[in-house]
Structure 1
Amino acid sequence: MEVPLHPLVKVDQKSIGELFVNYLKSQNIVADIQVDAQGFWIRVEEEKFDQARALFQEFAVQPYHPKYQQAAWENGEAVTQLPATAFGSMFNAFLSHAGFFTLTVFSLCWLIYIAAQLGFIHSIYPPLSFFEQLSLSALLHEPWRLIGPAFLHFSLLHIAFNTMWWWQLGGSIEKLFGKSTIIHLFLLSAIISNFGQFLSTGANFGGLSGVVYAVVGFAWWSGWLMPDKGLSLSKSIVGFLLVWLLLGFVDVLPVNMANTAHLLGLVVGCLFAVILAKKHSG
């Protein structure tokens, strides 16, 4: 049976309305947008009208909060960019979704990739690659090589896929859980996934994928354990990434996959969410 909807608020830009309606749906509030000569009306179900009105007051103050973009993303919508005439430019939207650390990692990945494409690959990649032979002496001399492979990418598709997920989920984690959480999650997942991949295949690997699977695991499990934080992943997205992980292990994909790094990153992210949830509940 169709739920009757009542006008909540009128907005001048459809993109604003779409962003907020997606968030309402993520909060289990039935809503849509109705267009008339006066503008775009956001309509909601009567039973949750007061709750929706309070949520819109929060939205109007901080429309770039990552939970709104996250809701659109989870609903399978293209991430709505707020127009410059409303709440700021597209560039501001990109910057505001993620914190300083997330954007720093994002930028370093792209700067290193671009430098490699310009002919500096032989001077940049070897110092950042994992140790050919791991020893205490090598570790003390070049400790950055434990995380270095996370910044190395070997194709445009590789870096675009990894940095998109990192910006989306890493940015949400940094905004919702704080800089300390995303830094620790990055370091733990990079070190553990890189070390595991080294033991599995040797030092010839690279990419942010292990870290990406860590933020996926963290977002997935934190949605179960800490739903009040507003971070979660839809079943379809989790299912896609788990199938992608499985396909890598059965070796049917046309590209080489750092399967061990992916699996270890996922485990690290899930466990990190469990530890953090216990800390908050305690």
Structure 2
Amino acid sequence: MRRIGEFDQEKSALKFWSFLKGQGIDSTLEKDDDDQKWSIWVAEEDNINRSIEELKEFLADPEAKKFISIATGPMEKAKIEQPEESPKPKRQGFKEYKLREKWASRDRSSGTLTLALIITCAAVYLLSGLGSNTELVGKFFISEKLDGRLSEFVAGEIWRIFTPMFLHFSFFHILFNMWWLHDLGSQIEKKKGPKHFISFVLILAAVSNLTQFWMEGPAFGGMSGVVYGLFGYIWIKCKYDPGDGFFLDPFASILIFGFLIYGFAGGGAGVANWAHAGGLLVGLAWGYGSALRWNLGKS
């Protein structure tokens, strides 16, 4: 969710918010009790740029026909939700959301694509005999050969740069990765949209898998490279673009960074440390680029 602008007058805020709802753009209107301003928040990343352009048009000419024709539809149906402690009477017109309350009671259910990835990983884990069926596992490796040339990929098996993310070799391995995939992936999918999310996951998988392959060979698997990328993205966004609404527990940051350091320090035999590092760097860069573009007013 992203704040695209604010109004000094409630009437103008309601009018523009109503217009967005009429256009099918999922949005909310929030009143700032401190300075009596009204903020417009848009839920889906895919609608941000369009909403900003519409806002510019509205500010230039709020009486334009396009803003008047549907301005009364959603306003008459929606209702404001006031905090219980507020002595003010309820007023009709819009639904108000408090961000602190939203973050505190955030939706913890899995996104659709996130859940599909979790189910796929669980299915591969079970079908591969908990990672012990070498014949099946080999089909998911980035390569089954040790020539360092990605022979299968070059021959047309392009999917192999992605499929190692579905492999897991122990209960705790898959539990750790699926837990973080659910928590981090669902946030990104719901706030940025499914197309953004799956594209991001595939890029993270490709980069982390190729990094691990180039550094240590083809015998590895797991979703952790993707997880580290998702973590890096959200960690940066929380620091430099908190208005995007992501949440990350401070202890989680210590745990994930600590495990990365522990792995490179020699702990945890068989850990795909380079996949973790590759995914993390991509996530950090992607998150920083997103935050920078927004702070510069370019997105």
Q: Same fold (TM over 0.5)?
A: yes
Correspondence 1:257 to 2:274: no
Structure 1 residue 184, shift from structure 2 partner = 1.9
Correspondence 1:220 to 2:232: no
1:116-195 superposed matches below 5 A? 116-117=128-129, 121-131=133-143, 132=145, 133-135=148-150, 138-195=153-210
Structure 1 residue 128, shift from structure 2 partner = 1.1
Correspondence 1:239 to 2:254: yes
Tell me if the contact between 1:112 and 1:124 (Cα under 8 Å) persists in the aligned partners. Answer: no
- The amino acid across from 1:256 in the alignment is G
Tell me if the contact between 1:152 and 1:207 (Cα under 8 Å) persists in the aligned partners. Answer: yes
- The amino acid across from 2:227 in the alignment is V
Structure 1 residue 234, shift from structure 2 partner = 3.1
Correspondence 1:112 to 2:127: no
Tell me if the contact between 2:130 and 2:170 (Cα under 8 Å) persists in the aligned partners. Answer: no
| Structure 1 match to 2:48 | none
- Bigger drift between 184-193 and 150-159 goes to 184-193
| Structure 1 match to 2:280 | 266
Structure 1 residue 265, shift from structure 2 partner = 0.8
Structure 1 residue 178, shift from structure 2 partner = 1.2
Structure 1 residue 139, shift from structure 2 partner = 3.0
| Structure 1 match to 2:290 | 276
Q: Percent identity at matched positions?
A: 30
C-alpha distance in structure 1 between counterparts of 2:219 and 2:229, whole Å: 21
Tell me if the contact between 1:153 and 1:159 (Cα under 8 Å) persists in the aligned partners. Answer: yes
| Structure 2 match to 1:199 | 214
Structure 1 residue 140, shift from structure 2 partner = 4.7
1:12-51 superposed matches below 5 A? none
1:61-140 superposed matches below 5 A? 67-68=103-104, 97-117=109-129, 121-131=133-143, 132=145, 133-135=148-150, 138-140=153-155
**Structure 1 gap ranges (5+):** 1-43, 71-92
- The amino acid across from 2:165 in the alignment is A
C-alpha distance in structure 1 between counterparts of 2:130 and 2:176, whole Å: 21
Assess, with a 3 A threshold, how the Cα gap between structure 1 residues 227 and 45 changes in structure 2: closer, same or farther: farther
Render the CA deviation track for 1:67-120: whole Å, top value 9, x for unaligned. 4565xxxxxxxxxxxxxxxxxxxxxx87xx222211111110000001112798
Tell me if the contact between 2:204 and 2:279 (Cα under 8 Å) persists in the aligned partners. Answer: yes
**TM-score using structure 1 length:** 0.64
- The amino acid across from 1:104 in the alignment is A
Structure 1 residue 225, shift from structure 2 partner = 2.4
| Structure 2 match to 1:41 | none
**How many pairs align?**
205
Assess, with a 3 A threshold, how the Cα gap between structure 1 residues 218 and 199 changes in structure 2: closer, same or farther: same
C-alpha distance in structure 1 between counterparts of 2:131 and 2:152, whole Å: 31
**Which structure dedicates a bigger proportion of its chain to helix?**
1
**TM-score using structure 2 length:** 0.61
C-alpha distance in structure 2 between counterparts of 1:236 and 1:119, whole Å: 30
Computing the radius of gyration from Cα coordinates, the structure with the larger value is 2
- Bigger drift between 223-232 and 199-208 goes to 223-232
2:245 to 223, 230, 233: 230
C-alpha distance in structure 2 between counterparts of 1:175 and 1:227, whole Å: 16
Assess, with a 3 A threshold, how the Cα gap between structure 1 residues 69 and 123 changes in structure 2: closer, same or farther: farther
Assess, with a 3 A threshold, how the Cα gap between structure 1 residues 277 and 136 changes in structure 2: closer, same or farther: farther
Structure 1 residue 141, shift from structure 2 partner = 1.4
Assess, with a 3 A threshold, how the Cα gap between structure 1 residues 137 and 249 changes in structure 2: closer, same or farther: closer
C-alpha distance in structure 2 between counterparts of 1:119 and 1:156, whole Å: 10
Correspondence 1:208 to 2:223: yes
C-alpha distance in structure 2 between counterparts of 1:252 and 1:118, whole Å: 23
